[in-house]
Amino acid sequence: MKIIETKVFKGKNIYSYKKCMKVDVDLEGYSEIPSKDIEDFNDNIINMIPELNTHRCGIDEERGFVKRLIEGTYLAHICEHMAIAIQNKIGIDVHYGKAREVEGDHYYIICQYIYEEVGIESIKLAVDIINALINKIPINYDERIELLKCILRDESMGPSTKSICDYAQKIGLPVISLGSGNFHQIGYGKQGRIIEASIGANTNCVSVDISCDKLLTKELLSNQGIPVAKGLRVKNIIDLLRAAEEIGYPVVLKPQYGNQGKGVVLNIKNEKELLNVYKTLKDKFKNLMIEKYYKGNDFRVCVVNYKVVAASRRMPPYVEGNGINTVIELIDKLNQNPERGEDHEKYLTKIKIDEEVIKCINEQGKELDDILTSGETIFLRKNANLSTGGEAIDYTDEICEENINLCIRTAKTLNLDICGIDICAEDISKPIYNSGIIMEVNAAPGLRMHLNPSKGISRDIGKEIVNMLYNDKPHNIPVVSITGTNGKTTTTRVISHTLSKMGYCVGMTSTSGIYINDECIDSGDDTGFESAKSVLLNRDVDVAVLETARGGIIKKGLAYDLADVAVITNIREDHLGIDGINSMEELCYVKSLVGEVVKEDGYVVLNADDYWSKSILNRIKANIIFFSKDSNNPLLKQSKISNISVYLENDDIVVSNNGKKYVICGIKEVPITLDGKLSFNIENTLAICGALVGMGIDYCMIKNGITTYLLNSHKNSGRFNCYDVNGINVILDYGHNVDGYNSVLSAVKEINNGMLYGVIGIPGDRSNETAKEIGRIASKYLDYSIVKEDKDLRGRKQGEIAQLIVDGMRSSSDRKKYEVILREEDAFEKALNMANSGDTVIVFFEDMKPLVNIINKFSSYREERNISNI
């Protein structure tokens, strides 16, 4: 068994609303060999991965998957379960997967993941195990699992960051991971807020740097009358001894810049101890400082938005004897607590037995191999940091008003909107001015101790931070997603135009590029995952309007979490036979994803006149807005399905909203309909109105938008763009499927008074029958056809697609003249030279720019911006 290709879906996709991988595998001759027929395979796999015993595998009984193995199941199915079980083994809660045959030994496996690298390595390990068991060779399974755990620690979100992101998602704000570190963006566009661990988007960078300098922090706090321990920087041994003499023993020696209690040595009682500690630390840390040691309990106070939101008492790690186990055995038992992990991966940290731990145990008169009597307690470290194994008790309700005010003053002194303040005091319920000190201020405080204290109430700090980021009014920008076979680009552009005229900064993706506030930041076919993500991450964007194409959905899924409004313009036959989509039912399944992934109170705009659009109604859970050119369409009357509809009545665009009718404007007032003659743009206009109604846009603003959007290359490039070239009407259009050709040519035939010349062709990845049908359509409408080919043949031989179109023309009952000129520019020039004033030349182009250059070469050219004379 070998992996052919792995695709990672980072968002909702056609296989699952969860993040998942699609892995294509080659079973290398084992496609028809069940597991029961592979010697020792079933027993070995269950022994190696006992987590498989918990998999029901669609059977509503315990050990359902094991039953499948005994009956005999196949390798792709087994591999899917193994990849899930391996992730389960290291603590990742995933369950979804499936395996499907493509052809022969070629299968694909869908497997849910949460952490991408871990997911990929899990599927690789599953494949390696299968091969090892079949070939009866050993595999270092335990080592591979340990490697996965290391990858997980590097890749997983820590508890502090997770608490913030979890609350954001709980209230409907999406979260985007940035890079591979601790950076995440909450929300989209202008409402995007980037956090780094527990550092907020508005946290002052200078303030963070100040808090990292313990001496400078001490100086600034002391200046404001805030109690701190007297401290000095240590440059050498003479400095050290002089400072200790000035401060007075006992003292603390620690790095001037540091975190997590690393290098901090407390309660140094005399010169000999001090010199020994200094000798140990001076080579490990560049800058050291000394300060007065204060005895007391260790408290951490969390301040968010200059409010105290939590307080904890931190306890150094300790073990309690039972008269049976040694100290080292008690430490091992403590580390077996599932709440303890490596570093910051869990709420508590495992205790590592290092020199400091051994010294601390020895100072209490004990050794690691000593057995503690029942109830006897010893501490394992002097400091209480959670990162070195400490625990916490919630004290939020105990901190007194005076200390609350002191902590707020401390945060304001450093200008830190989020911080953790370390206090040494006997009792935090009493003012610390005469009996305690502020030890340190942390700009990126760990929140674990407040989120899940060993004792006391859990405090939702994530909620406090998210609310601060949004001034207590968390909300996101609207997202509008448009898909369909035809009309989606025009629909996307007019929605964007309307919103722009209202003063919004619109982020738009389309087949012509990415636009931010009408400025093109990238040109090309930008209808996929990465293009949408660029809009969602742009900090200027008020509204995201995303053209979402079939190809992008299949390849990477959706970049956004949920849309406010989705539009499905229509679903017609196109792209069949590409990317594994071979039927209209499969195409509908892909496009329906856009309609499924909409907020509960959002809207899906559907074409009530389109057969295949109606077929996906059962997949839509949000509110539906139907649009139709027929005011008597039965779906418009079914209020149980939709309370809002948009339709054409007496040449007026009408909105029916909860039983009331509103006239937007006459259809002939909308320029893109060409005085009501372009039927396909009438449909697009109704879809546009539906989307804007779903967004809650005022009807007069909708009218303003749709009546000011012109049918020209400046606004709607590549979509029925009209030019006057020496009296010849030239139309450039990006039609590339059967429905597009029918719609455009039927409209042109109606408005054309002279000869109608066409430069025709389609992309090479369309089916043979589609190419032939294009030829038949051309014969029906065109007086003279020039068949050309795209430069990108998409796997075809040169002349192959042109010949299929010609075959279609020859089979048509409407036998018209034609010729073949494969180069698009040459074909266009030939058509221009053949046409006379009053004739029309239409080009279904691949690349518009060279054609515009040709137009510019012809004399007396002017672009008809109002195209009223066609």
Higher per-residue pLDDT: 363 or 132: 132
Kindly state the average pLDDT of the residues 298-319. 93
User: How high is the pLDDT of residue 345?
Assistant: 65
User: How high is the pLDDT of residue 346?
Assistant: 67
Residue pointed to by tokens 């075809």: 796
What distance in Å separates the CA atoms of residue 175 and residue 184, rounded to the nearest whole number? 7
Give the model confidence (pLDDT) of 109-168 as tens digits. 999 999 999 999 999 999 999 999 999 999 999 999 999 999 998 888 888 999 999 999
**Domains of the chain and any CATH numbers:** 2-155 (no CATH), 159-201 (no CATH), 230-292 (3.30.1490.20), 297-461 (3.30.470.20), 479-706 (3.40.1190.10), 721-863 (3.90.190.20)
Give the model confidence (pLDDT) of 417-465 as tens digits. 999 999 999 999 999 988 899 999 999 999 989 998 989 999 999 999 9
Residue 344 — pLDDT band, cuts 50, 70, 90? low
What distance in Å separates the CA atoms of residue 5 and residue 8, rounded to the nearest whole number? 10
User: How high is the pLDDT of residue 97?
Assistant: 94
**Residue 20 identity (one-letter amino acid):** C
What distance in Å separates the CA atoms of residue 732 and residue 330, rounded to the nearest whole number? 80
Q: Which residues contact 442 (CB under 8 A, 6 or more apart)?
A: 211, 259, 419, 420, 421, 422
Q: Report helix, strand or coil for 512.
A: coil
Cβ-in-10-Å burial (0-12, 13-18, 19+) of 61 comes to exposed
What's the token pair of residue 93? 């809660």
Around 790, how many Cα atoms within 13 Å sit in the side-chain half-sphere?
21
User: How high is the pLDDT of residue 347?
Assistant: 66
Longest Cα–Cα distance in the chain: 109
User: How high is the pLDDT of residue 438?
Assistant: 95
Q: Report helix, strand or coil for 224.
A: coil
DSSP secondary structure letter of residue 741: H
- First CA to last CA across the chain, in angstroms? 63
Residue 862 — pLDDT band, cuts 50, 70, 90? very low
Nearest Cα neighbor of 761 from 748, 775, 749, 747 is 775
User: How high is the pLDDT of residue 867?
Assistant: 42
User: How high is the pLDDT of residue 117?
Assistant: 95
Residue 391 — pLDDT band, cuts 50, 70, 90? confident
DSSP string, 362-427: HHTT--TTPBPPTT-EEES-SS--GGGT-EEEE-TTT--HHHHHHHHHHHHHHT-SEEEEEEEES-
DSSP secondary structure letter of residue 199: B
720 has pLDDT over 90: no
Chain mean pLDDT for the chain:
90
Higher per-residue pLDDT: 521 or 375: 521
User: How high is the pLDDT of residue 59?
Assistant: 76
What's the per-residue H, E or C state across 300-311?
A: EEEEECCEEEEE
Q: What are the residues facing 311 on neighbouring strands?
A: 301
Residue pointed to by tokens 């007086």: 783
Around 340, how many Cα atoms within 13 Å sit in the side-chain half-sphere?
19
Instruction: Quote the distance between the C-alpha of residue 660 and its chain's center.
Output: 39
Residue 17 — pLDDT band, cuts 50, 70, 90? very high
Question: Is the backbone peptide bond immediately before 250 cis, with ω within 30 degrees of 0?
Answer: yes
- The answer to whether residues 372 and 330 touch, using CB atoms and an 8 Å cutoff, is yes
Share of the chain above pLDDT 90, in %: 62
* Cα→Cα distances 537→167, 187, 562, Å: 20, 9, 15
**Residue 233 identity (one-letter amino acid):** R
- The answer to whether residues 65 and 57 touch, using CB atoms and an 8 Å cutoff, is yes
DSSP H stretches of helix in 752-847: 768-781, 800-810, 824-834
What's the token pair of residue 869? 């004379």
- State the Cα angle at 512 between 686 and 590, rounded to 5°: 60
Give the model confidence (pLDDT) of 642-694 as tens digits. 789 999 999 999 999 988 999 999 999 999 998 898 888 999 999 999 999 99
DSSP secondary structure letter of residue 714: T
Residue 795 — pLDDT band, cuts 50, 70, 90? confident
18 has pLDDT over 60: yes
403 has pLDDT over 90: yes
Kindly state the average pLDDT of the residues 534-548. 97
Higher per-residue pLDDT: 642 or 332: 332
What's the token pair of residue 748? 């042109």
Cβ-in-10-Å burial (0-12, 13-18, 19+) of 543 comes to buried
Highest mean predicted confidence (pLDDT) among 291-300, 342-351, 859-868: 291-300
DSSP string, 185-210: EESSGGG-EEEETTB-TT--HHHHHH
**Residue 135 identity (one-letter amino acid):** N
Kindly state the average pLDDT of the residues 743-758. 86
Helix (H) or strand (E) holding 844: strand 840-844
pTM for the whole structure: 0.84
Residue 864 — pLDDT band, cuts 50, 70, 90? very low
User: How high is the pLDDT of residue 188?
Assistant: 97
581 has pLDDT over 90: no
Helix (H) or strand (E) holding 835: none
User: How high is the pLDDT of residue 866?
Assistant: 40
**Residue 334 identity (one-letter amino acid):** L
Q: Report helix, strand or coil for 55.
A: coil
Q: Report helix, strand or coil for 73.
A: coil
Nearest Cα neighbor of 63 from 71, 33, 126 is 71
Nearest Cα neighbor of 784 from 841, 711, 846 is 841
Kindly state the average pLDDT of the residues 382-391. 74
Give the model confidence (pLDDT) of 690-703 as tens digits. 999 999 999 999 99
* Cα→Cα distances 779→775, 799, 806, 812, Å: 6, 19, 10, 7
Backbone angles phi, psi at 188, to 5 degrees: -120, 160
79 has pLDDT over 50: yes
